[in-house]
């Protein structure tokens, strides 16, 4: 059920983009209990100036042009502790496996009800019973 959008600078190598996607998927399945094989991702690379962030930082976090924006739409219901563990795992693993600074791993979760998905065939697979 998650839809993951990953936005990176165009200078980010295809290998690093793939690694980021794999890291997020692994964290979703291990930490947030997303079903295996539920891997739907859109990875977009942007030209210089297309990823906009506060140059002076925000909430004590300083960013670089290497920022990675991650937005995940998934079903509501996970606890705050699960979300915190997920954020930490994604940031730490991206840093350890790609060298991207943890400060540059920006994550937004969008929570929706299960009936807000159609996985094909024009059907509502998670329709209320």
pLDDT tens-place string over residues 50-88: 999 999 999 999 999 999 999 999 999 999 999 999 999
| Residue 65 appears among annotated catalytic residues | no
CATH of region 8-60+73-112: 3.30.429.10
The rounded percent of the chain whose pLDDT value lies above 90 is: 96
Token pair belonging to 28: 């979703």
- The candidate with the shortest Cα–Cα distance to 45, out of 15, 24, 75, 72, is 15
| For residues 87-114, average pLDDT | 97
> How much is the pLDDT for 11?
97
Query: How much is the average pLDDT of 43-52?
Result: 97
Q: Using CA atoms, how far apart are residues 93 and 2, in angstroms rounded to an integer?
A: 19
Which H helix or E strand runs over 69?
Answer: strand 68-75
Kindly name the residue from 2, 35, 65, 128 that is annotated as catalytic: 2
Q: What are phi and psi of 61, to 5 degrees?
A: -105, 125
What pLDDT score was predicted for residue 1?
A: 78
């Amino acid at each position: 059920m998650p839809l993951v959008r990953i936005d990176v600078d165009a200078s980010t190598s295809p290998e690093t983009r793939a690694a980021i996607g794999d890291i997020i998927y692994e964290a979703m399945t291990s930490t947030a209990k997303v079903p295996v094989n539920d891997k739907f991702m859109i990875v977009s690379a942007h030209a210089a100036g297309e990823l906009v962030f506060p140059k002076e930082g925000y909430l004590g976090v300083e960013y670089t042009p290497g920022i990675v924006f991650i937005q995940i739409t998934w079903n509501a219901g996970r606890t705050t502790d699960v979300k915190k563990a997920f954020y930490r795992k994604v940031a730490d693993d991206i840093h350890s496996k790609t060298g991207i600074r943890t400060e540059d791993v920006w994550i937004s979760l969008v929570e929706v009800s299960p009936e807000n998905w159609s996985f094909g065939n024009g059907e509502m697979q998670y329709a209320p019973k």
